[in-house]
C-alpha cells in the first residue's frame, strides 16, 4: 500500500534512485503514490563530492530525510547525509514490515479486495496501532481482544486475526479462557481451591510458559497463558481447564470451560 498525499518535513522515507544528474539525485518514494524527490548534490554525503555516482547508483534503495515539501511546485527536497546508519536500518526494517503486512491484507481479504475495503481496514489499523504491521502483530499476540475498540466488522476482525495467527512471528502470545467452578458439598470452598491449584499446574508448568488463574466473580475464574506460540498456548489453556474440571468433579462439583467472559458476573 502506498500513501496518498505528501510526506511531512523531517520524516524519513524509503525511495529508489531513479535518475542521477550532476546536480543531484532523483528518488521515487516507495511509500507515497506518484511522489518523487530530489537530493541536491550537497545533501548526498558530507564533504566535497567529486562524482555523485561514487555515492549512489540507479535502482538503489535509500532512506532519506524530508527537508522541505512544496506542494504548489510538486517538489520534495530530500537529504541522504542527514540519515545515520541506525536510522537507515530501522526505517528499512519498518518498510519491509509494511510490505509483509500489505501481503497479509491480500491473504485476509483476497487478492481482488476492492480499494475501498482495503483502505478502510488499513486506515483503521494505522489509526489504532500506527502501522499495518503493528496492527497484525497485536492481533497475533492478543487475538480479537486487540481489536475490541476498532471500527471494523466482526468478519473483518476475524479475517485479520486468523491471518495474523497464521503468518506473524511474535516473541510470545497471550490467550485467555474462563472456567466456572461449582461445588455444593460441605467442603466446597476447599475443593474449589484445590481445583484452582490443579489448574495452575501444581508447580509443574514448563519454564517457557506463564500461567495464572484469577477470580472474576462467582463462580467464574480467569485462566491466562503466555507462551512462545499459539499451539502451545492453546494446548496449555485447555489442559489447565481440564485439570480444574477433573479435580472439582472428583469432589462432586462441576466445571464449565468457555473462552468468552460471562457478562452476568460483572
What pTM does this model have? 0.64
Separation CA 93–CA 140 (nearest Å): 19
Mean pLDDT of 42-64: 94
Alpha carbon of 162 to those of 49, 104, 209: distances in Å?
Answer: 52, 10, 22
For residue 62, what are the contacts with CB-CB under 8 A and spacing of at least 6?
14, 15, 16, 17, 27, 56, 80
Q: What percent of the chain has pLDDT over 90?
A: 71
Predicted local distance difference test score (pLDDT) of residue 261: 60
Domains plus CATH for the chain?
Answer: 12-83 (2.40.50.140), 87-167 (1.10.150.190), 173-265 (3.30.70.1130)
Residue matched to cell numbers 529508489: 16
Predicted local distance difference test score (pLDDT) of residue 149: 87
Would the pLDDT of 244 be above 60?
A: yes
Top pLDDT among 116 and 64 is at: 64
Predicted local distance difference test score (pLDDT) of residue 66: 97
Amino acid at each position: 500500500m502506498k500513501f496518498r498525499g505528501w510526506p511531512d518535513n523531517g520524516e524519513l522515507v524509503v525511495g529508489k534512485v531513479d535518475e542521477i544528474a550532476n546536480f543531484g539525485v532523483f528518488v521515487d518514494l516507495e511509500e507515497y503514490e506518484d511522489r518523487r524527490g530530489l537530493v541536491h548534490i550537497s545533501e548526498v554525503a558530507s564533504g566535497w563530492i567529486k562524482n555523485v555516482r561514487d555515492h549512489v547508483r540507479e535502482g538503489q534503495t535509500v532512506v532519506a530525510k524530508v527537508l522541505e515539501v512544496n506542494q504548489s511546485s510538486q517538489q520534495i527536497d530530500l537529504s541522504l547525509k542527514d540519515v545515520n546508519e541506525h536510522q537507515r536500518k530501522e526505517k528499512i526494517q519498518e518498510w519491509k514490515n509494511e510490505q509483509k503486512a500489505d501481503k497479509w491484507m491480500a491473504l485476509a481479504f483476497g487478492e481482488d479486495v476492492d480499494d475501498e475495503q482495503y483502505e478502510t481496514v488499513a486506515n483503521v489499523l494505522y489509526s489504532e496501532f500506527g502501522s499495518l504491521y503493528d496492527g497484525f502483530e497485536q492481533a497475533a499476540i492478543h487475538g480479537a481482544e486487540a481489536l475490541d475498540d476498532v471500527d471494523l466488522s466482526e468478519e473483518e476482525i476475524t479475517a485479520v486475526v486468523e491471518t495474523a495467527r497464521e503468518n506473524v512471528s511474535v516473541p510470545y502470545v497471550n490467550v485467555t479462557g474462563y472456567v466456572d467452578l461449582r461445588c455444593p458439598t460441605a467442603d466446597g470452598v476447599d475443593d474449589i481451591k484445590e481445583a484452582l491449584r490443579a489448574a495452575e499446574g501444581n508447580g509443574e508448568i514448563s519454564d517457557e510458559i506463564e500461567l495464572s488463574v484469577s477470580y472474576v466473580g462467582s463462580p467464574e475464574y480467569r485462566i491466562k497463558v503466555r507462551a512462545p506460540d499459539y499451539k502451545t498456548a492453546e494446548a496449555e489453556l485447555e489442559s489447565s481447564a481440564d485439570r480444574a474440571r477433573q479435580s472439582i468433579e472428583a469432589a462432586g462439583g462441576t466445571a464449565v470451560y468457555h473462552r468468552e467472559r460471562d457478562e452476568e458476573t460483572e
